[in-house]
Amino acid sequence: MKQFLFLMIFVPLIASSATGQEKRWTFRQCLDTALQRNISVNQSRLSNELNKVSLEQTKANRIPSLSASASEGLNFGKNVDPTTNTFVTQAYHSTNIGINSSLNLFNGLQNANTIRQNRINVEAGQFDIEKVKNDVTLNVTTGYLQVLFSYEILEVAKNQAASTAAQVDRTEKLVGAGKAPESDLLQIKSQQATDNLSIITAQNQLDLAKVTLMQLMEIPITDYFDVEVPVMVEPVMVQLQTNEAIYQKSLEVLPQISSAGLKTNAALMAMKISEGARWPKLTLGGSLNSNFASSRTQGSVVNPEGYPFFSQIWDNIGQSFNLGLSIPIYNNRQIKSNTDRAKINLMTAQLNEQNTKNILRKNVEQTYTDLRAAMKKYDATKEQLSAVEAVYNNSEKKFDVGVMNATDFLIQKNNYIQSQSNLIQAKYDFIFKSKILDFYQGKAIQF
């Protein structure tokens, strides 16, 4: 029975653990996890929620306010009866109740402009969220490509180590047969040690790249993390648009540009709000009040039996309406100072908007130039690898028949390894730059 319970409990756990270990993360899964867990993204969302709260508050300011009040007092000695406004010397208690309401009829359009400003802030806040999400997307893309790049470097290192191991076996046989000097064997074994070190270095770089990607995803570091290696289409030389055309497209689609423009409009609304304080303010108010006093008499009969509480409350009901006009004449330069600050903030917002556009233009120009250079480098590196590979294959044949010594052969072998690494690096640099330029044009990054 105990064995059965053990199997029932632990076997599913082991199976679940094995399933978790075998999971390979796609780029989309990595990105979705990062966007969901990223602190900056969530902070931006919460910041915009505050903008929404402010908007709802300003909308509510258009509705008349309503408040109720009640008070209870105990009086001794000579006091004024609040229900009769006459002096009484007896101790009594009194109750006052009331309902008050007020409505802002006109305040220089400050409330209307504040609503417009908060609506703009909410819209700008949404674009700010998208801007932070874009930053996270670019970071995850960089981390994901670094993992793929490290995988290819590791694969090259393993292939070269396997090739060197085969050459060690062959050289040992040649040395044993007296057809090759022992120095060749020593040099080949030295190369084998170097290749094994390259594998360890490449594996460490891969592990570090995985750690970086997991940190970008905001998940705990685990040894079982792995990514799905997509089928990478070989980069091809493309006909690029002009950098001006790409920049104009990016102005239309990137959220930081829309956000900067909206914040300029919000600053303009703030200036109108501050200028609205110069106008007279008109308010409408109304109230409903009543009171009770235990000293109150009805005829010759003293409360409470003669003039009960609810009867007094009903008899003492009073209503009032008022229309108030407030005209600002001089308030120690506060309105002027607030207006000047709003104008300066507007100019600052305009400069920030222009600076955002300038930064984008520089980034587009830099990426455009980098991509053109990456295209040329990738094409040249492919040609170099083709030439070096031909030399290496010829050297390997010469070394196999004893025409070339180990020193010259290893020089060609290392040149070939370096050319392979250069091509991998050029390929991923090409891919990354092209993805970034597509991203500036509003195209989603996919693998």
Cβ atoms 440, 246 nearer than 8 A: yes
Instruction: State the Cα–Cα distance between residues 125 and 122, nearest whole angstrom.
Output: 5
pLDDT tens digit sequence for 344-388: 999 999 999 999 999 999 999 999 999 989 988 999 998 998 998
Cβ partners under 8 Å of residue 48, min gap 6: 122, 125, 126, 128, 129
pLDDT tens digit sequence for 113-167: 999 999 999 999 999 999 999 999 999 999 999 999 999 999 999 988 888 888 8
Domains, the chain: 22-63+107-279+330-440 (1.20.1600.10), 66-105+283-327 (no CATH)
Cβ atoms 273, 120 nearer than 8 A: no
Q: Is the peptide bond before 304 cis (omega within 30 degrees of 0)?
A: yes
Tokens of 111: 């409330």
pLDDT tens digit sequence for 293-310: 776 665 544 444 567 777
The burial class, CB within 10 Å (0-12 / 13-18 / 19+), for 5 is exposed
Instruction: State the Cα–Cα distance between residues 195 and 155, nearest whole angstrom.
Output: 12
| Beta strands at 297-298 and 301-302: parallel, antiparallel or unpaired | antiparallel
Instruction: State the Cα–Cα distance between residues 422 and 377, nearest whole angstrom.
Output: 10
Q: What is the mean pLDDT of the chain?
A: 84
The DSSP call for residue 405 is: -
Q: Is the overall model pTM greater than 0.85, yes or no?
A: no
SS3 state of residue 153: helix
